[in-house]
Amino acid sequence: MCTKHNTRVSGPPVLTNLLCPVRALKVYLERSAPFRQSDRLFVCFSGRTIGAPVTKQRFRGTRWIVDTISLAYEAVGQVVDGLYLGNIRDSENRDSLSRNGITHILSVCNNAKPVLEDMTYLCINAADASSQNLSQHFKESIRFIHECRLNGGSCLVHCLAGVSRSTTVVVAYLMTVTSYSWEDCLTAVKAVRSFVGPNYGFQQQLQEFQMKHVSEYREWLRASYTPSPFEDQEQVKALLSLYAEQGRQNDPEWMSQSSRIYPLSCNQYSAPGSNR
């Protein structure tokens, strides 16, 4: 059984001479029972729980002092062909953008603005707050991503951390280009970027999008553009299989709090005019 313990974390600047940026941290843990040598340390960092490699560890009764711990930042992830999800650092990393063939950037964050001159941008100013109306931007976001892909480009969707706002936009796009539900599309994204999780308000907006608008958006996309050359349905299906194989649904509850799903009450799923 895993038990969650509070931690105090501090550390020096990010190291950049590695494949993925790594931050060295010093972690202090305390609890009422003494630590054992066999205990495994988990650290929750930016909403992501990591079973961390530990070096130079010392035990002092009920206090465990970890002198050095490495937490790898998850790199930009490809969701389907021509569509990537990442954070604000990824959006400014020229090497990563070039390596992945990124031509377009969809920024969804506070004070979003173009940064790189050789990129095509769609900037959406939005806060990561449950009260933020993000669904009003779904259509322009879907158009931006789809036209980028149809023209042979690749689009990076990012917010600050690549967890909530950008994930919501990517899920809305996947719902439109496939027949999958918002829950399935979110699960597929988790197979690529394990710690994603739209906030409560954004999840409600995705549910409402599914109930009221996604069929209309699918028809709009079919009527407005040439038949899609992409195998999005098959790729999302493959991601769902990958997620099941990874067994993340069996993680302890406290390890997946950042990606918890908050469904609407049953009566809110009823269609307008329905007796249900």
Which are the catalytic amino acids? 159
How far is residue 177's CA from residue 179's CA, in Å, rounded to a whole number?
A: 7
208-244 in b/e form (b: 16+ CB < 10 A) is bbbbebbeebeeebeeeeeeeebebeebbeebbeebe
Tokens of 30: 């305390």
166 CB-near residues (< 8 Å, 6+ apart):
85, 86, 87, 106, 108, 157, 158, 159
Q: Which helix (H) or strand (E) holds 49?
A: strand 48-51
42 CB-near residues (< 8 Å, 6+ apart):
2, 4, 49, 50, 51, 52, 255
- In angstroms, the Cα distances linking 53 to 5, 25, 74, 78, 194 are 17, 11, 16, 26, 18
80 strand-pairing partners: 83
Tokens of 5: 């313990």
